[in-house]
Amino acid sequence: MPGHGSGTARRGGRFLTAAALFISALALLITAPGAASAASPQPDPVKPGEASMGVGVRMHEGGDSTGGSQPGALAASVHGVDVSGHQGNVGWSTLWSSGVKWAYVKATEGTSYTNEYFTQQYNGSYNVGMIRGAYHFALPDNSSGAAQAKYFTAHGGGWSKDGKTLPGVLDIEYNPYGSTCYGKSDSAMVSWIKDFTSTYKAQTGRDAVIYTTTDWWSQCTGNNGGFGNSNPLWVARYASSAGTLPKGWGFYTFWQYTSSGPTVGDHDLFNGAMDRLKALANG
């Protein structure tokens, strides 16, 4: 029966066409970048221990558009760098000759990581004449603030009044391993930071410097204004100015202005002349 056969063929053709379209659409859904990222979380951008000062800034606030150029507005400032194990053995003489006069070196992260290049970096900067200090990359979801402050001071984060050692830094920024605010509420994050800073002061006699960005601080502490009177601010912003500061601070002490500078990436400015930097070192 020709009519019946033709109808079956047409229905079969429509079925095959619909099936082909469904398969094609499914393939596009699986391979489309937007769909894939929505369906599953992105993998960790760094391995445990590899976080360095500013890693979260670059992830969440975009790349560095400065090209490493130095801001021209601050004549009375002292240039510095911050380094971690990522830089390996650093060419300190080259940096010193280029005008860099101070450095901060990553000492610890959480309560289980120490920088394997710490000795070369911390002592090397000192030996060429720089004023130097150490920093701790905070993992507030890992352990208490007190535990991390003690781990920091026990592994390079201490302080001595030798005129060449700066107070330790709490690097508290976007979580490079997961949830931006480490799964903490604003009040819980503020409590964690207080736990760290009060313990660090009890251990060393110095108020820790707080490194952060205005955006992260607003998101994760509710823009808390309770640290500005005690803890110097190190603000991160890769631009021609430091911009709006977190609540509680009327000025910054350090500014990380680029992650693409010469010799090592992260370059910074101290907000003052060399005599004020020495005063900070001496407490």
Number of residues in the chain: 283
The residue from 82, 109, 207, 266 that is catalytic is 82
β-partners of residue 108 are 114, 136
109 a catalytic residue: no
171 a catalytic residue: yes
| Residues 6 or more apart whose Cβ sits within 8 Å of residue 192 | 140, 144, 145, 184
The residue from 61, 109, 171, 266 that is catalytic is 171
Give the integer Cα–Cα distance in Å for 97 and 201. 34
Cβ atoms of 242 and 231 closer than 8 Å: no
Residue with tokens 């030798």: 162
DSSP string, 98-131: TT--EEEEEEEETTTEE-TTHHHHHHHHHHTT-E
The residue from 173, 207, 215, 266 that is catalytic is 173
82 a catalytic residue: yes
Give the integer Cα–Cα distance in Å for 96 and 90. 11
* Residue type (1 letter), 117: Y
* Residue type (1 letter), 215: D
Cβ atoms of 46 and 232 closer than 8 Å: no
β-partners of residue 78 are 270
Q: Which two tokens stand for residue 68?
A: 């490493």
Residue 47 φ then ψ, to 5°: -85, 155
Active site residues: 82, 171, 173
